[in-house]
Amino acid sequence: MKEKEVLKPKYAQASIFIIISVIIVGVIALFLVISSDVIPGIGGSKSQANPSAFLDSCLEGKVKEAVKIIGEQGGYIEPVFYKEFKFEKEAFPIKISYLCYTSENYISCINQEPMLFDNIENEIKNYLRQDVENCFTELSSDLEKQGYVVEAKYRNFDVNLISKKIEIDINAELILTKAGETIRKKDFKVVVLSKIYELTEFAQKIINKEVLDCEFDYITYMLLYPKFEIDRTLTQDSSIIYTIDHRDVSERFRFAIRGCVIP
């Protein structure tokens, strides 16, 4: 009994210490969160420190938007030859491009887009055409606001799908002058992480199998390539819609084929 009485104040003291510690940690955490928004980083804005970083942040959303649309629609922003289909779990029907098709029965499909990688690069490029120029203009304006005299020359850009990323090579030039000091920067590269290359390669693998073997054993391939989840949907007109989801990044590539149809 006596022992308990002696211990009581120690429990209370420990509790107070714990509460104070939690408050201190909370205050520090709150300060860090608030200060990260309020206090400007050393070295000025992102555009001054690194124009590529500015362009990265300006374009990343658009690139991902393009990849999402293209991935849902079989490699096209606006499909021309497609199967319109509504999946049960999805709200609206979507246009899914035929990447391999024959209207005939019994024969293999004709690959409609043998240069699938090039086509996707072109589609992304067309989708971003205005945005890249706008971002470059925004970058110039941002630098002007920082007191630079900006001479900006924008020419064009290229899109390259590379394993695990998309590279946007912008052919442009900035000549920045401030307080008599002149800096020249040219040829900017924006890199957006994406698995569209891997998804495209896998889609091409499926098409190749469909052309050569008239089938694709998607269950086996999901075991072999656990990073990919494959869905195969057979539609009423014997078209097949493949949906490949990459488990690491929630990116998708979906396309339609029609071939080797046995009525």
Partner 1 sequence: MKLKIIFLLSLIIFLSGNLVSAVCCQKTINNQTCQNDVEENCDNKYSTSPNLCEETDFCTTGYCFNPATGLCSTGGIEADCESPNKWGESEGQCEEGCCVGGSQTHFTTAASCDILSRTWGIEAYINWNIPESECVGYSDDEGACIIGNECVFISEVECSARDGSFYKGLFCSSEKLEADYGYDYEEKSHKSCVEGKEDVYWFDSNENKEGVAEDCELYEETCDINSRGEYFCKSLNCFDEVNNKERINGETWCVFDAYVGNGLDIPGSEHYLASCNYGEIEITRCGNYRNKICGEKIVDGVSRAKCRTNYWENCFEKDVINNKAECEKLDDCRWFVVDMEKKAPYNNFKLGGCVPKYPRGFNVNSEDSSETGNGKNVCNLASATATLVYEKTGPLNLGAWKCKEGSDESWNCLCEEEIFVIDMNTLCMSLGDCGVHVNLAGEASGNIYLAGKYTRPSFDVNDPLNKPIVEGYFNLSKNKVGENIANYTSNKYNSVSEIGNFAFPPLPPQETMIFGKEKTTKFGCLPWQPVSGGEDCDLCNENPMRPCTKYKCESLGAGCKLLTNSYEDENPICYDASGDDAKPPQIMSFEIQGEYRVISEENGVKIKKQDGGCIQEYTTVNFSFTTHEPAVCKWDKTRFQLFKNGQELFEKGYSWETTHSLLNYKIKGQDEFNFYVICQDPYDNPNAKEYAINFCIDPVPDISPPVITKSLPLNASYLKKDTSNLSLDIYLDEPSKCRYEKVSGISYENMVNEMICNDNNEDAFEHRCSKFIDELTENKNNIYIKCINLANLTMNKDYSLTFFATQEALKIDSVSPLDQTIKGPINIELEVITSGGAYDGKSNCSYRFLGKIWKDVFPDKDSTTHKYTFTSLDEGSYDIEITCKDAAENIATALTNIIVEVDKTAPTVIRAYYQDNKLKIITNEIAECYYNDNNRCNPFNFSSDRKITNIGLKTEHFAEWLKGQTYYIKCIDVWDNSNKNCAAIIRMD
| Residue ranges binding partner 1 (CB under 8 A) | 80-81, 98, 100-104, 107-118, 153, 155, 160-161, 163, 175, 180-184, 201, 204, 207-208, 210-212, 220, 224-225
The smaller minimum CB distance to partner 1, of residues 58 and 75, is found at: 75
The smaller minimum CB distance to partner 1, of residues 35 and 220, is found at: 220
The smaller minimum CB distance to partner 1, of residues 45 and 204, is found at: 204
- Beta carbon of residue 34, minimum distance to partner 1 (angstroms, whole number): 33
- Beta carbon of residue 201, minimum distance to partner 1 (angstroms, whole number): 6
The smaller minimum CB distance to partner 1, of residues 153 and 189, is found at: 153
- Beta carbon of residue 251, minimum distance to partner 1 (angstroms, whole number): 18
Which positions ≥6 away from 93 have C-beta within 8 Å? 84, 85, 86
On whether the CB atoms of residues 122 and 113 are closer than 8 A, the answer is no
Rg of the chain over Cα atoms, rounded to whole angstroms, equals 27
| DSSP letter (8 states) at residue 93 | -
On whether the CB atoms of residues 83 and 243 are closer than 8 A, the answer is no
The beta strand positions in 114-219, using DSSP E, are 149-162, 165-178, 181-193
- Beta carbon of residue 45, minimum distance to partner 1 (angstroms, whole number): 20
Output the CA angle 137-141-146, nearest 5 degrees.
150
Query: What span, in angstroms and rounded, lies between the C-alpha atoms of 12 and 18?
Result: 10
φ, ψ of residue 41 in degrees (nearest 5): -70, 155
Query: What span, in angstroms and rounded, lies between the C-alpha atoms of 42 and 157?
Result: 31
The smaller minimum CB distance to partner 1, of residues 62 and 111, is found at: 111
- Beta carbon of residue 73, minimum distance to partner 1 (angstroms, whole number): 14
- Beta carbon of residue 39, minimum distance to partner 1 (angstroms, whole number): 26
Cα distances (angstroms) measured from residue 167 to each of 193, 233, 252, 253: 9, 32, 19, 19
Output the CA angle 62-231-76, nearest 5 degrees.
35
- Beta carbon of residue 77, minimum distance to partner 1 (angstroms, whole number): 14
On whether the CB atoms of residues 191 and 246 are closer than 8 A, the answer is no
The smaller minimum CB distance to partner 1, of residues 204 and 243, is found at: 204
The smaller minimum CB distance to partner 1, of residues 58 and 207, is found at: 207
